[in-house]
A = this chain, B = another copy of it.
Amino acid sequence: MKRFLDLADYSRDEVVDLLALAQSLQDKPQPQALAGKILGLVFFNPSLRTLSSFQAGMARLGGHSFVITPGQGTWQLETRMNAIMNGAAAEHIREGIPALASYCDALGVRAFAEGKDLNEDLGERLFGMIDDLCDKPLINLESAVNHPCQALADWRTLDELNVPTRAKFVLHWVYHPKALPLAVPAATLHMAAMRGMEVVVARPDGYALPREIMDKARSAAAASGGSVNETSDRTGAIAGASVVYAKEWGSTAHYGDVAADATLRAELKDWIIREPIFAGALPDAKLMHCLPVRRNVAVADEVLDGPRAVVKREAFNRLVVQMAVLHRLLA
């Protein structure tokens, strides 16, 4: 394994193997497995869990890490090809990424969607450039439309909770004061489909996930025996569900149009997860969310503080599965 960029790059069996490695590293710690190895971490965007869990994971395997945050203690990095660099960015990723890669044994990069052109983001234009520029193992810490570390952690969480492979999994749009990227919804959808679940995307009109993302998930579902559907009927979606995975994202009907998205979402503040919404779900249905979550805006206190919420377990599993990724890339 030379890259960890997209769960879809692996077969279902390979993912299951990776999760088994994660468990084995929990059962039998290998505190020297990555002795002398160095992980570089580059954050073009904010992080809490990713930053801390990767640093902790490397340390638990005996390795080291360093953190670069462009624009904060480090020059802003230009990402446009052929740019005439007379603006704020003092350095181009064409120099910056190879330099950083040359100092470490693996590089992790977070680079959110630019959120202007849907096709560019779907094509992972920026992360593709970074991939080309990095001659060391590369880890996607969240790109324009992917977040494989989160997806892998969520898969493990579902396994730990004994959620059956064929159970109903609802990816549920929730309100947020502003448009957020498609990375987690796309990665979560793909993960659940690849795991073989009966996936329903519940989202308001104007927030359908792009066809490319839906089609990719449907292919994965076809291979695993699962299914992928979508609806704007929240109640119908949640009926019989084992899992409600709450997530915020921006309008795809108005991608990159902040004003149009704002107008549309202003009417959608009732797309919040409160306890009554679980009325038709299975009695022990779980609430998942990748975090950070805005309490009482996206999910109510009563749910986050109740027994359905497994968000802390998801967060902890970031550490567990990422150690397996690091081990596979570097050991």
A residues sitting closer than 8 Å to B (CB atoms) are: 29, 31, 35-36, 38, 40, 43, 46-49, 51-53, 55-56, 59-60, 64, 66, 68-70, 72-75, 78, 82-86, 90-92, 94-96, 98-100, 102-104, 177, 291-297, 301, 304-305, 311-312, 315-316, 319
Contact of A83 among B177, B295, B311 (CB under 8 A): B295
Known A-B contacts A82-B301, A296-B83; A35 and B31 likewise in contact (beta carbons under 8 Å): yes
20 more CB-based (< 8 A) A-B contacts, given A95-B293, A95-B315, A103-B319: A38-B59, A46-B73, A46-B74, A46-B75, A48-B74, A52-B104, A53-B103, A72-B72, A72-B73, A75-B292, A82-B296, A84-B295, A84-B296, A85-B295, A85-B296, A91-B292, A98-B312, A99-B312, A99-B316, A103-B316
Contacts of A301 in B (CB 8 A): 82
A78 and B49 CA atoms in complex are apart in Å by 16
Residue from the list B31, B38, B86, B312 in contact with A294, Cβ < 8 A: B86
Whether B48 lies near A100 (C-beta < 8 A) is: yes
30 A-B contact pairs sorted by A residue (CB < 8 Å): A38-B56, A38-B59, A38-B60, A46-B75, A47-B73, A48-B96, A49-B99, A51-B66, A51-B68, A52-B66, A52-B68, A56-B64, A56-B66, A72-B73, A78-B295, A82-B296, A84-B296, A84-B297, A85-B296, A90-B294, A91-B291, A91-B292, A92-B295, A94-B305, A95-B312, A95-B315, A99-B315, A102-B315, A102-B316, A102-B319
Q: Assess whether A292 is in contact with B96, with CB atoms less than 8 Å apart.
A: yes
Residue pair B102, A292 in contact (C-beta under 8 Å): no
Q: CA–CA, A311 to B96, complex, Å?
A: 11
Main secondary structure of the interface of A (DSSP, over half): mixed
Q: How many copies does the complex hold?
A: 3
Q: What's the nearest-Cβ distance from chain B to residue A15, in Å?
A: 23
Given contacts A59-B64, A66-B52, A100-B52, contact A293 B72 (CB under 8 A): no
**Chain B residues with CB under 8 A of A46:** 73-75
Q: How far is the CA of A312 from the CA of B95 in the complex (A)?
A: 7
Residue on B nearest A48 in the bound complex, by CB: B74
A85 to B68, CA, bound (A): 29
- A55, A83, A311, most chain B CB atoms within 10 A: A55
A70: chain B residues within 8 A (beta carbon)? 48
